[in-house]
Structure 1
């Protein structure tokens, strides 16, 4: 489901409730998390969605919002990068993998995306496992590529090319 103004309060509560675990991996989680900042971010993403440059979605499970999965799209190069996070209480049900498969296929069909990427900290095994379950191939590691607080994480880059198999 698309992230809209009405989802902001719940998504803000989820981000705050999960902030300690999100701060380990996410640069955006380092600062104070305010509802006003989230509303502004959602608005920018929705404007990019109108322009065909973003698909900002929320993950719903049993009627409750539990996380987000979104895609940043480069329509000129026909590429996209997926990003996601989930409430700790919703982990372990395959939600990100299921939503990721739907979003991957939607990007290929509706936006004519040819190449998708997922970038995850090397130590973030859960995020890397999602990429692998979605059929993405580990293509390499960027050393010290992601500044998160006082640390810099090595980033595993996963790629998916529409119409190819992992051995191509």
Structure 2
């Protein structure tokens, strides 16, 4: 399936909107990666169902139409391998990036390249003046992506991220686009 919204990332890689046609593949990826996602993501604690994913994607698409989100999946060689999305606060002109990728697609630079394209897109298309990435302090892979993208570690919120029975400290990274 093709999407009308496509952000080219590089050879064999692009970002497309999270639409209904992406839900089956995203569910398969979530289930296949659930144990590693449960370490860091509150949403991964519950049962993963197609109905819940479709409902979430629908809300994200409504936010996209209203200019409050850019929910995308990462396609590599035509296959969906992960997601990178931005939540946008138009009043404050800020955004927050969130992402995860299939374990089998790690280590190829796909996430860093995809997040860089989305970062630049929200700066140019939405005029954001600040972007944040929030990651559990122990989530070294996610933090490494933020650092490769030029985000600066601005501080740590203690015991703020509830994940299952654990509360994680949360590293806050900020990016200010060049003026």
Instruction: Return the TM-score normalized by structure 2.
Output: 0.91
Task: Tell me the CA shift for residue 63 of structure 1.
Answer: 1.2
Matched, 1:82 2:112: no
RMSD between superposed Cα atoms in Å: 0.6
1:46 correspondence with 2:61: yes
Map of 1:121 onto structure 2? 136
User: Counterpart of 1:160?
Assistant: 175
The alignment of Structure 1 onto Structure 2 pairs a total of residues equal to: 164
What does 1:1-168 align with in structure 2 at a 5 Å threshold? Answer: 1-163=16-178
Deviation at 1:71, TM superposition (A): 0.4
Q: Following TM superposition, by how much is the alpha carbon of 1:132 offset from its aligned partner in structure 2, in angstroms?
A: 0.3
Q: Secondary structure at the match of 1:117?
A: strand
| Structure 2 CA distance for aligned equivalents of residues 16 and 37 of structure 1 | 13
Partner-residue secondary structure (3-state), 2:62: helix
Show structure 1 runs of 4+ deviating over 3 A.
none
Residue 82 of structure 1, CA deviation: 0.3
Mind listing any 5+ residue stretches in structure 2 that lack a counterpart?
1-15
Report the Cα offset of residue 64 of structure 1.
0.6
SS in 2 for 1:65: strand
